[in-house]
Structure 1
Amino acid sequence: MTVKQVTLWRKEVQNAPGILAEVLEPLAASGANLRVVMGYALGDTGRAAVEVFPVTGKKLTQAATQAGLQPAQVAALFVEGDDRPGLGAAMARGIANAAVNIEFVVAQTVGRKFSAVFGFRSADDARAAAKAIKAAAKPARTAKPRRKR
């Protein structure tokens, strides 16, 4: 399991057909290979948000900035690894036991792989959560059968 702090890039937009494509097209034209794309309505305000990761390199950073994206102020972790039953619950319990509040989480499995983005109020919370996630992600030890003598 890998857990790393990341910077999401965010833009608030009108919630209308085609807006997501308008935000993503300049990134695609710059050669972006995004690992995370989140788009969601902001309640009943008629507004929405688009968040993406990663934005790295001069060309992509310039394209993202020109598209109106800016580094988000939320501390975020990108988590990926092998999936197993109960992994999400184990990570949530570990974070709870570390007394850290999760601001948001988006998680999925594809085949046998798991990935998630967790958001936290502060970098300190993200660091504490990263430790908790790594500990929770370790597979439970199973007793080895004893050899008969």
Structure 2
Amino acid sequence: MADRARKVDYFKTIIPNRPGQGAKACGPLKDAGVNLLALHAFPAGGRAQVDLIPERRGDFQRAARKMGLKLGPRKTAFLIEGDDRPGAVAGILKKLGAAKINVVAVSAARTGKRYSGLLWVRPRDVAKAARVLKAR
């Protein structure tokens, strides 16, 4: 399968940076049947920022509201996927660089013979990046 990119919605939440807090934030989503395409968490100012990328935005927002999870505004990232090979992500980064689009962050991993990852650009560059990546 060729490389593929698609725009995805994500929402951030800030939680305490302590043991068990990630499970406390994600457990009720699981119980509500919410499927996440990805989750990205990292320390931020003594707390932890969790970026949640839901498969179905409406279901996710309803569940988050019901559990009292405070979400930031909806933002856009790119989910990238393809057959694993040396330099797969480098090729994507090269295309964006050639278009003068700065990648704010990227996180990718290999699973079996495939790779997938998340890629963030500035909001003003989302439409241009979508064209370059042929993202839907």
Question: Are 2:82 and 2:116, in contact at CA under 8 Å, matched by a contact in 1?
Answer: yes
Q: How does 1:115-126 map to 2 (within 5 A)?
A: 115-122=116-123, 124-126=124-126
Structure 1 residue 60 displacement after superposition? 3.2
Structure 1 residue 83 displacement after superposition? 1.6
Query: Closer, same or farther in 2 for the Cα pair 1:74/1:121, shift >3 Å?
Result: farther
Higher RCO by CA contacts (8 Å cutoff, separation 6 or greater): 2
* Cα distance in 2, alignment partners of residues 104 and 35 from structure 1: 17
Superimposed CA distance per residue, residues 32-68 of structure 1 (whole angstroms, 9 cap, x where no aligned partner): 22220111101xx311111111152654321123341
Question: Are 1:55 and 1:61, in contact at CA under 8 Å, matched by a contact in 2?
Answer: no
After TM superposition, the score normalised by the length of structure 1 is: 0.77
Q: How does 1:31-42 map to 2 (within 5 A)?
A: 31-42=33-44
- Number of positions where the alignment pairs a residue of Structure 1 with one of Structure 2: 131
Question: Are 2:107 and 2:119, in contact at CA under 8 Å, matched by a contact in 1?
Answer: yes
* Cα distance in 2, alignment partners of residues 106 and 113 from structure 1: 14
Q: Which residue of 2 aligns with 1:17?
A: 19
* Cα distance in 2, alignment partners of residues 8 and 54 from structure 1: 7
Q: Which structure has the bigger radius of gyration? A: 1
Does residue 53 (structure 1) correspond to residue 40 (structure 2)? The answer is no
RMSD over aligned CA atoms reads 2.0
After TM superposition, the score normalised by the length of structure 2 is: 0.84
Structure 1 residue 89 displacement after superposition? 1.2
Q: How does 1:86-97 map to 2 (within 5 A)?
A: 86-97=87-98
* Cα distance in 2, alignment partners of residues 131 and 83 from structure 1: 23
Question: Are 1:9 and 1:70, in contact at CA under 8 Å, matched by a contact in 2?
Answer: yes
**Runs of 5+ unmatched residues, structure 1:** 135-149
Q: Which residue of 1 aligns with 2:4?
A: 2
Structure 1 residue 74 displacement after superposition? 4.0
Q: Which residue of 2 aligns with 1:26?
A: 28
